[in-house]
Amino acid sequence: MAADRREERQAALRAAIAAESLDGLLVTHLPNIRYLTGFTGSAALLLVHAKATVLVTDFRYEVQAPAEAGDSARVEVDQTSVWNRLSRILAGLPQGSIGIEAQSVTVKDAERIAGLTRSRVVPTSDLVERLRAMKSPEEVDAIRSAAELAQGALAEVLPTVRVGQTEQEIGAALEAALRRRGSEWHPFPTIVASGPRSALPHARTSPRAVQRGEWLLLDFGAQVAGYCADLTRTVVVGARADERQRTMYDLVRCAQGRALAHLRPGMTGREADALAREIIAGRGFGEAFGHSLGHGLGLEVHEAPRLAATSEAAVPPHTVVTVEPGVYFPGWGGVRLEDDLYLGDEGPELLSDGRTELVELV
């Protein structure tokens, strides 16, 4: 049975709130609410205060919210307006200062919150996200399970890919395999990009038919117990790779391999990014690698930390990150390889299979 870490998470958050000289934090970002209480619904407000933890939701979750939150929060269900209920809760607390999540609260809602309380409303940044960056063993296991599920779906679908199939047909087959194998949902829209469209790092899967000898880039994920895996593989369809394809593929594979082997906690995001970027730039293709090396992975597919040339923040221990270098050439195509990596006490540990040998579907 997985450990229940909600109490210790809330205690850590209260310490962070106190360090900001605040009396409480109004949590509105749903993944943060799930992290702190276990509630998985689509509408809620969570007040974490020195005096209490209160989850406010609506009538749709009258049964679900108490069942999921358990003893982690007092649940209040309002039949008409969660904001009116929040106002009554705030009125019962001593006047002080309440933080709001600046990264997720709209201007309109910030103004609304300020009008509900006599307390000072203070924007905060990433108080819960910084806690979420460091994963417990149970979280790591869930991401590993999601990666194994995703790899199984890919292994099922790749042998069925043929010249003339559309990107949408391939994407549908992959998403169906993910769901059959137990993925709760797709963490992001599946990317299936062929030929010159593989040069679009975040291509939308289209009706284009795959041609012989073209790249096929697949960027997809799975979700287990709320936690996400994120993988990318690039293959050649209907023919052997030509010299340029093989050269570019080997370059990206070499860059990814260096990053996977040498990434460590304590590095800055910039230093982590450089592990792969130096390889690609050293061959004269630095401009073709236009995105960052990777990002954190957890309840969201993009979370802290950032492995980017612009990030001077240190990578915390016990994080899970993607490692996904790529090169992209408009009109020709692109190559990206992505695996999920846990940065634990024993060194980097692959949670995905790391099987990045060039696959030619002939």
pLDDT at 129: 97
Number of H helices, E strands in the chain: 10, 17
Distance CA 184, CA 178 (A): 9
Distance CA 236, CA 317 (A): 37
Distance CA 23, CA 14 (A): 9
Phi, psi (5° rounding) for residue 178? -60, -45
Polymer length in residues for the chain: 362
| β-strand pairing of 24-27 with 326-329 | unpaired
Residue 136 near residue 111 (C-beta atoms within 8 A)? no
Q: Judging by beta carbons within 10 Å of its beta carbon (0-12, 13-18, 19+), is residue 179 exposed, middle or buried?
A: middle
Q: Does domain 137-361 have CATH number 3.90.230.10?
A: yes
Distance CA 324, CA 131 (A): 24
**Average confidence (pLDDT) per 10 residues, the chain, 362 residues:** 90 97 97 98 95 94 97 94 93 93 95 94 97 98 98 98 98 98 96 98 97 98 98 98 98 98 97 98 98 98 97 97 98 98 94 97 96
Distance CA 325, CA 102 (A): 31
pLDDT, tens digit (0-9, with 9 covering 90-100), for 165-206: 999 999 999 999 999 999 999 999 999 999 999 999 999 999
Q: So where are the chain's domains?
A: 6-131, 137-361
Distance CA 287, CA 96 (A): 51
Beta bridge partners of 290: none
Could you give the count of Cα atoms lying within 13 Å of 331 in the half-sphere of its Cβ? 0
pTM of the model: 0.96
Which of 285, 283, 291 lies closest to 310, judged by CA?
A: 291
Q: Which amino acid is at 143?
A: I
pLDDT at 2: 75
Using CA of residue 247, residue 350, residue 220, residue 313, what is the dihedral sign? Answer: negative
Taking each helix axis as running N to C, give the angle between helix 243-262 and helix 269-282, from 0 to 180 degrees, rounded to the nearest 10: 150
Distance CA 358, CA 179 (A): 26
Which token pair is 149? 């599920």
| β-strand pairing of 74-78 with 97-101 | unpaired
Distance CA 212, CA 94 (A): 70
Residue 263 near residue 272 (C-beta atoms within 8 A)? yes
Distance CA 39, CA 104 (A): 18
Distance CA 299, CA 153 (A): 21
Beta bridge partners of 335: 327
Distance CA 333, CA 241 (A): 13
Q: Which CATH superfamily is domain 6-131 in?
A: Creatinase/prolidase N-terminal domain (3.40.350.10)
Which of 238, 234, 203, 190 lies closest to 216, judged by CA?
A: 234
Q: What is the CA radius of gyration of the chain?
A: 23
Phi, psi (5° rounding) for residue 167? -55, -40
**Strands (DSSP E) along 125-241, which ranges?**
191-194, 214-224, 227-237
pLDDT, tens digit (0-9, with 9 covering 90-100), for 72-120: 999 999 988 999 999 999 999 999 999 999 999 999 999 999 999 999 9
